[in-house]
Structure 1
Amino acid sequence: MTQLTATQIKNLKATEKDYRLHDGNGLYLLVRKTGKKTFLHRVRKPKDTFHKIGNYPAVSLAEARAYVSDKIKRKDQEDSLIAVIDDTFVDVAEKWFNEEKDSWSESYANRVRLMIDRDIYARIKNKKIARVTSKDVYLIMNDLSEQDKKHVANKVKSIIHSIFKYAIRNLRCESDPTLAVDTIKTKKTQHSVALKHHELTRLFQEYENSKAKRVTILANRFLALTMMRTIELCETKWNDIDFKENIIMIGGDRMKKEIPHVVPLSTQALDVLEEMKQYSSNSEYVFPNALDNSKPMRTKTVYSSITKYRKWLTDLSFGPHGYRATASTMLNQKGFRSDIIEKQLAHSTKDKVRGSYNHADYLDERRKMLQSWGDYIENILNEVVE
């Protein structure tokens, strides 16, 4: 192939269409129909792209060649460095996690940690990171999908993707195997419905008299009494509770909108806590994991214990989260102010200053409202508990 010369470039004429001339090593000269001449560098990976170097004569042929030569040299050095790196996936994943976790809430960091240890490391922990393939990623996701954990599978893929972006940025590998794996399609989330009085009574009748573990029954009862989210309930620790003020204080790092939340405790909720002391006094969690009391009860434990054997609830699209909708609907019907109810549900303004002001303003009203709700639940329990 004949290389371009400075004289040739100077004498090139415009034509009716733009055209390119190749000099070698990916260096091209683009001649526009306007007569303008531009040096381009063609890069074929990760995709075929022309990068502009500069316009002639401001950039000479010699300068354009030097630019391309420098680019090729640096790429060769990077490739050589990558070739001798022998990191395992766990080496890179741990560095990524340790650098990122400080920017996350504690609860989110714990969830990511769990998925890495439980779902990702099980298959590729000690594999060389440069040898992790799209098939590996697919098999991890497929295992979770078959366990009906499609949302978890997609989250796991996102975590692996972030780890590989970190690896590429730090020259630990060249490509990201997650890019060739499709996200798993999931059903649109259905929000739990609000139960009517007779349905709520039936639920307590069946559940309170079931063979479920006492701790799980109490967790279900506490969930209904407090209008808390299931994850908030499971992660509640004894030191979150102020027994002088009879409130639970939930930090912003555990809340959906990252705004601290205060939950007043009715006498019925306090009774549940008093009974739980005999089951969980050796754990920091009010509702600990049955197999390891250093960990919180799993949200799935609460969900499955309520809905697994009650098809009528699944037909209604009801899950434990539905206690919030049920309480909201019934308390509105009882004449409580909607903004008090919304505050108790932690459907707060994104204005954190205003949110903090409101929770102090509404605490007495919310306390009265939850006591009324607790009395209502107690009346149902008195009817159904044998």
Structure 2
Amino acid sequence: MGKLTATQIKNLKADEKDYRIHDGNGLYLLVRKTGTKTFLHRIRKPKDTFHKIGAFPAVSLAEARSFVAAKQIRKDQVESAIDRIDEKFSDVAEKWFDSIRANYSDEHNRKIRVSLVNDIYPYIGNKHIAAVTSKDVYLLLRPLEERGAPTMAVKVKGWLHSIFKYAIRNLNCETDPTLSVDVARPPIQHSTALNDAQLKRLFDEFENSTVQHRTKIANRLLVLTMLRTSELFKTKYSDIDFDKKILVVGPERMKRKIGHVVPLSEYAIELFNEMRQYSGDSEYVFPHPTDKNKNMSLTTVYAAVLVTRPWLRDLKFSPHGYRATSSTMLNQWGYRSDIIEKQLAHQSQNKVRATYNHADYLDERRVMLQVWSDYIQDIVNKATVK
């Protein structure tokens, strides 16, 4: 509360010299020897000066105080913004990462973390975020392109763009330097789908190889369930309802953080039960061979399938291509694309359709997967009787 009152101001008399009375919070009343009374605001930085507010009584005491209070609020906001602008890029990036990590799978978050540490922080981690320029972004991305990793360059630029959008929203900076940096986008490489003869050849070779039987089972289930490796190999027995014959993949394991239910065929149930002799007392269906508290490495099946089969590498096939293979064949067999896309846990590109399409087609998918399972089981049986 100020020291002055309106009545006191009215009663103040002129003197031989001008004089000032302090009301508080930098507000002063200047009384001149002529008798005029003027409100002043004292500002101490960058140098001590008095700014005229207005003459009394045209400007009331309450209005003068409000003017000074508003100036102080703006000053505090500017100083707060300066503090934020002075934050290091790495500090803001960590806050951004904490804000988005719940939206993605552990594997996706791991990739972001590795990229932050290896590809981004060594270049701009210690710079004030408002000082990062387009040239900094270009020099950061250029090594990725030069080492033949254009896809990673695109991803890193995307993460940088998200970080700067977050920074702008939180007053850490005013511009996004990634907007003026172009990255050559590589052509999209869709997973190669095998035809009937190629799939049969793969199983004939793989099932008669010296690969451990547990790896063969894992490979079969990867084909039968149409799941991604990270979704299948992190499966726990608690995720499987053997009575209802379903596998529930929690949102934390799914690429788009949406839970997924997979109907299990008779053959799939049989294989999951067979895995118990290898998993022992581990909670994982596919435990790590040296640590039962961890799941099998996601690269185990990839290495086993590809390492001795150059013809598959020539086709640019990897076990992820089982999803494309099953999708292609099931479409050829006449199954509706909605059912197939739901089994693959794909989101509709049509946002309106995706919003209203809540059907999971569980019964139709069960019928479809049983037919697919019978086809795969027949291939495996013919390969293993040799």
TM-score class normalised by the smaller sequence: 0.5 to 0.7
Q: Number of aligned pairs? A: 308
SS at 1:157 equivalent: helix
The residue aligned with 1:14 is none
The answer to whether 1:115 aligns with 2:111 is yes
SS at 2:311 equivalent: helix
CA, structure 1 residues 156+341, in 2 after alignment: closer, same or farther (shift >3 Å)? closer
SS at 2:248 equivalent: strand
Unpaired segments of 5 or more residues in structure 1?
1-69
SS at 2:382 equivalent: helix
State how far apart, in whole Å, the 2-side matches of 1:340 and 1:380 are.
29
Query: Residue 124 of structure 1: CA displacement?
Result: 1.0
Q: TM-score, normalised by structure 2?
A: 0.61
The residue aligned with 1:358 is 361
The residue aligned with 1:194 is 194
Aligned positions of 1:128-207 closer than 5 A = 128-130=127-129, 137-138=137-138, 141=141, 144-145=144-145, 149-197=149-197, 199-207=198-206
Once the two structures are overlaid, the 10-residue window that deviates more, 282-291 or 111-120, is 282-291
Name the aligned partner's letter for residue 171 of structure 1: L
The residue aligned with 1:311 is 310
The residue aligned with 1:382 is 384
CA, structure 1 residues 339+165, in 2 after alignment: closer, same or farther (shift >3 Å)? closer
State how far apart, in whole Å, the 2-side matches of 1:147 and 1:210 are.
36
CA, structure 1 residues 294+182, in 2 after alignment: closer, same or farther (shift >3 Å)? farther
Q: Deviations over 1:222-270 (max 9, x none)?
A: 1122233344324434332112222212346755677654323334323
Asked whether the equivalents of residues 280 and 287 of structure 1 are also in contact (C-alpha less than 8 Å), the reply is: yes
State how far apart, in whole Å, the 1-side matches of 2:75 and 2:159 are.
28
Once the two structures are overlaid, the 10-residue window that deviates more, 329-338 or 201-210, is 329-338
Kindly report the root-mean-square deviation, in angstroms, between the aligned alpha carbons of the 2 structures: 4.4
The residue aligned with 1:223 is 222
The residue aligned with 1:238 is 237
The residue aligned with 2:374 is 372
SS at 2:161 equivalent: helix
The residue aligned with 1:249 is 248
Query: Residue 346 of structure 1: CA displacement?
Result: 4.9
SS at 1:356 equivalent: coil
CA, structure 1 residues 124+241, in 2 after alignment: closer, same or farther (shift >3 Å)? same
Asked whether the equivalents of residues 283 and 293 of structure 2 are also in contact (C-alpha less than 8 Å), the reply is: yes
Once the two structures are overlaid, the 10-residue window that deviates more, 268-277 or 181-190, is 268-277
SS at 2:221 equivalent: helix
Query: Residue 207 of structure 1: CA displacement?
Result: 2.7
Query: Residue 173 of structure 1: CA displacement?
Result: 3.9
Q: Deviations over 1:61-86 (max 9, x none)?
A: xxxxxxxxx9xxx7997489537855
State how far apart, in whole Å, the 2-side matches of 1:75 and 1:278 are.
70
Asked whether the equivalents of residues 287 and 296 of structure 2 are also in contact (C-alpha less than 8 Å), the reply is: yes
Name the aligned partner's letter for residue 185 of structure 2: K
State how far apart, in whole Å, the 2-side matches of 1:175 and 1:301 are.
45
Q: Deviations over 1:358-380 (max 9, x none)?
A: 32x32552464244234313323
Name the aligned partner's letter for residue 218 of structure 2: A
State how far apart, in whole Å, the 1-side matches of 2:270 and 2:140 are.
44
Q: Deviations over 1:306-358 (max 9, x none)?
A: 33543322333433233244445556777878776565445687567764363
SS at 2:261 equivalent: strand
Asked whether the equivalents of residues 208 and 384 of structure 2 are also in contact (C-alpha less than 8 Å), the reply is: no
CA, structure 1 residues 112+340, in 2 after alignment: closer, same or farther (shift >3 Å)? closer
State how far apart, in whole Å, the 2-side matches of 1:281 and 1:353 are.
43
SS at 1:263 equivalent: strand
Asked whether the equivalents of residues 251 and 257 of structure 2 are also in contact (C-alpha less than 8 Å), the reply is: yes
State how far apart, in whole Å, the 2-side matches of 1:151 and 1:269 are.
35
State how far apart, in whole Å, the 1-side matches of 2:181 and 2:315 are.
35
CA, structure 1 residues 185+219, in 2 after alignment: closer, same or farther (shift >3 Å)? same
